[in-house]
Chains A and B, each alone.
Chain A
Amino acid sequence: MRFRRKTSLAAVAAAGALVALVLAGCSTSNPTASPSSSAAAAKSSQEPIVVGSAAFPENEILAEIYAQALTGAGIPATTHLDIGQRPAYLKAMKEGSIDLVPEYSGNLLQFYNKDTTDKSSAGVFAALQKAIPSSLEVLPEAEAQDRDSYNVTKEFAKKYGLVSLGDLTKAPQPLIVGGNPELGQRPYGLPGLKSVYGVTSTLKPISDSGGPLTIKALQDGTIQVADIFTTTPAITQFVTLKDPKNMVLAQNIVPLIRKSKASAKVKSTLDAVSAKLTTKALIAMNGKSSGSAKESSAQIAKEWLSQEGLD
């Protein structure tokens, strides 16, 4: 009899827990969205602007910056972060589940026009405006660039007198270049090194986008040249080889937005952000994310916006 009562209580508890879990799991809220933007959305009655991002920390930070800047200007905005690869979030934009995304001018252009020849920031931006679908538009780009760059250790640069990419021919070929696997096919990757600068190289694929594993590999000599993105905090300890022939595409941070959401107020808010966004600032922000502080994207965005007086 006592056992019966205990079991029915326990049964209800177990069933309740299970139902709660199922309901919670079925909810469509995105756990990686920042709490501040959801609260802002709740306050307003308008349709919030949904800011999406790709699945890496810097893009998360940029999305947070856009969302918080908009919210600060009185425009409701929420985030839907870490959507995955470009086809995935561009598809989401076409379908309308995402309105705004921080993009990289060069890569975005090449996505729509594989054989583009424009390399400079201005050239890429102009070509981009013509290449993107008519329902989307790109707003003025920031000075900040997150570009591929080829780096060597200070000792290696000193040994062979390396300043720009063309100087790599002075070092024994083939050189071991470390970077993302796609570098083997991209025009600014190994094929480009050969055709533009005459450098022969082999690829050691390291799938962390010039992150900690690539940096360790360059430090300990496993690779001789590393493809590290220009906004990586650790890049400051290496020598970044210059690219006078513009082999590497410009990759300015540019807001890609659905035209229907691009009101004058939205545009001016985002323009103000882009005007102040420099490569140096991004390096610092990335440092806060991957350095010892390990701050969240939302936090980092908040700090930068208030530091620049944009909140």
Chain B
Amino acid sequence: MIWFANAFAWLADPAHYAGVNGIPVRLGQHVAYTGITLVIAAAVALPLGFLIGHTGKGRSLAVQVSGGLRSLPTLGLVIVLALLLGLGIGAPMIALVILAVPPVLAGAYSGVESVDPRVVDAARAVGMTGWQVLWRVEVPLGLPLVIGGLRSAALQAIATWTVAAVLPLGGLGRYIYDAIATYDYTEMFAGSVLVIVLALVVDGLFAVLQRLVVPRGVVAAGGAPAAVPA
């Protein structure tokens, strides 16, 4: 328990908030990396997932590919791409987007699929085209599950960017890896606490978002995050 006391002392020390290695900078980098990962993953996986959910085709392929991608060990993927593609943010970003795609994809197609087929039929009966059914009915009603997928992906990304700091990157993982080298257990612990707090805050924000996007009068499906924390 003394470790918590030491870690909080470390976190309370104003010296750790200044400079390039300060907490605001590292936190900002971590949030930025995660945000960019989500945006790219969403750009790739959301359209694909909506299509799969709407047409019903390609689902088993998507499940299998997702399962395969999910079994990739994050530390290995990040390192092998860095060795092949070199220094810089590019290699880990590619790795992280690859790992973030499965949960977003699953959220997208299960969100669309979760809409009551009778509602879809009614929409078609009213004369909506396929596109209109997708964008005006399926996506809005399936939004909680879609956001659930983004939530899983966000947690996954926060966790994996921490691990990715084995490479020369910024982010909160820097505290953990640098501390391993200097045997500074307090810094390791404090860095870990920061990562955990960030993860919980982001999780909470997404949970709130999931409730907010439920159209009035509809009971949310409340999807379980089925993705892997890295």
Contact = CB atoms under 8 A, between A and B. Distances in A.
B167 A207 contact: yes
A219 to B, nearest CB: 10
A27 B180 CA distance: 28
Interface stretch (A62-70, A138-146, A210-218, A269-277): A210-218
Interface residues of A, number: 19
B82 interface: yes
B222 to A, nearest CB: 35
Contacts of B87: 213, 216-217, 222
Contacts of B166: 207
Contact of A182 (B21, B83, B86, B178): B178
Given A207-B177, A222-B87, A85 B167 contact: no
A213 B168 contact: yes
Query: Does more than half of chain B's interface fall in helix, strand or loop, or is it mixed?
Result: helix
B103 to A, nearest CB: 28
Interface in A200-226: 202, 204-208, 212-213, 216-217, 222
B167 A181 contact: no
Contacts of A202: 20
A205 B174 contact: yes
Given A85-B183, A86-B183, A212 B178 contact: no
A216 B83 CA distance: 11
B181 A212 contact: no
A182 B181 contact: yes
B182 A182 contact: yes
Contact of B177 (A87, A181, A204): A181
A37 interface: no
B168 A180 contact: no
Interface in A41-90: 85-87
A92 to B, nearest CB: 15
Given A207-B167, A213-B167, A216-B87, A181 B181 contact: yes
Interface string B87-127: 10000000000000000000000000000000000000000
A175 B180 CA distance: 26
Contacts of A182: 178, 181-182
B183 A87 contact: yes
A185 interface: yes
Given A87-B183, A181-B174, A185-B182, A216 B168 contact: no
Interface of B: 20-21, 82-83, 86-87, 165-168, 174, 177-178, 180-183
30 contacts: A86-B183, A87-B183, A180-B181, A181-B174, A181-B177, A181-B178, A181-B182, A182-B178, A182-B181, A182-B182, A184-B21, A185-B182, A202-B20, A204-B168, A205-B174, A205-B178, A206-B168, A207-B166, A207-B167, A207-B168, A207-B177, A207-B181, A208-B168, A212-B83, A213-B82, A213-B87, A213-B167, A216-B86, A217-B87, A222-B87
